[in-house]
Amino acid sequence: MEFLDILLEPLSYDFMVRAIITTALAAVVCAVLSCWLVLIGWSLMGDAVSHAVLPGVVLAYIVGAPFALGALVFALIAVTLIGVVRNTSRVKEDAAIGIVFSSLFALGLVLISVTPSQTDLNHIIFGNLLGVSIPDLIQVLVLGVVAFVILILKRRDLTLYAFDPTHAHAIGLSPKRLGALLMGLLALTSVVALQTVGVVLVVAMLIIPGATAYLLTDRFNRMLVIAPVISAVCSIAGIYFSYYLDTASGAMVVLTQGVVFAAVYLFSPRQGLIGTRLAKARRRKAAAVLVA
């Protein structure tokens, strides 16, 4: 089979086209957000919020409200609860996060088990890339674009918040409000990604692209380009792999991102384990040639 045929064949199915559009969009939005999450050290928070929105999404489904609304409400509840448990007991933050998100996730599973039409909701957990409907696509499109535009417009403030919240405060901005904005966008983005890879794997899309880009550059602005490009390419490649290898699509997307991270981790010229050694060896060789 020709390479072009390999690329074009899946596109003859509408469901594959919808899957690719949804995934690429979710991948880009998640990747942009992930740049801040990995720098602030909010990866675990990303994990927590993406799991904790489950009951919100289920409840929204039951009452017929938009998923994003339920997700935002439960993201807020999760963050508040984590703060309360951490600040008012001797339990440390990582434990507080673990307790709150797993409990809320469990609540979501319980709600799914008592809600008729279970099949639909189970897709939220593992994602249902190949079953994306037109309304799903529109919802992802709207939420994704909203989150993306806010992130890009407020990128400088968010970076300031990530780097030096004290300075943000000193010049009259509110670090609290910027943190809340980022948290809200995290909830929104989680909903976008649920559709694609499901609750369980959202966190991968929220961490891996940013971490990968961080190993490749020393400039935040470049991270904001590298992360979404890598993420989108990996995601689309993942879908093709899943199509031809007949494997789970959401999982394949995440696996591809993980493999690319591993490659960058090893071979990045700046930070890579092997890449830096190769560069050093090259320099030494060049120096030796100069001496000779």
Partner 1 sequence: MSTPAILVENVTVHYGEVLALDSASVTVDAARICGLIGMNGSGKSTLFKVIMGMIKPDAGRVLIGGQAPTKARKEGGIGYVPQSEDVDWQFPLSVRDVVMMGRYGHQGFTRRPSRADRSAVDQALDRVELGEYAERQIGQLSGGQKKRAFVARGIAQGATMMLLDEPFAGVDKRSEATITRLLRELASDGCTILISTHDLHALPGLCDEAVLLMRRVLMHGAPEQVLQPENLAMAFGLDVLNRDLPEPAHPAAVVHPATTESRG
Over the window 13 to 52, marking each residue x when it contacts partner 1 by CB under 8 A and - when it does not, the resulting string is --------------------------x-------------
Q: Which of 9, 93, 136, 157 touches partner 1 by CB under 8 A? A: 157
- Least separation in angstroms between CB 279 and partner 1: 16
The token pair at 53 is 């929105």
Please state at what angle helix 93-114 crosses helix 67-88, rounded to 10 degrees. 140
Cα Rg of the chain, angstroms:
21
Q: Is 46 helix (H, G, I), strand (E, B) or coil?
A: helix
176 binds partner 1 (CB under 8 A): no
Neighbours of 275 (CB within 10 A): 18
Q: Which of 156, 283, 284, 285 touches partner 1 by CB under 8 A? A: 156
Candidate ranges 44-52, 77-85, 186-194, 217-225; the one touching partner 1 (CB under 8 A): 217-225
With residues binned 3-state (H G I as helix, E B as strand, rest as coil), the percentages for the chain, rounded to 5, are 85, 0, 15
164 binds partner 1 (CB under 8 A): yes
281 binds partner 1 (CB under 8 A): no
CB 214 within 8 A of CB 39: yes
279 binds partner 1 (CB under 8 A): no
Neighbours of 41 (CB within 10 A): 9
Please tell me the distance from the alpha carbon of residue 153 to that of residue 183, in angstroms, as a whole number: 16
Q: Which of 154, 258, 265, 267 touches partner 1 by CB under 8 A? A: 154
Over the window 221 to 250, marking each residue x when it contacts partner 1 by CB under 8 A and - when it does not, the resulting string is -xx---------------------------
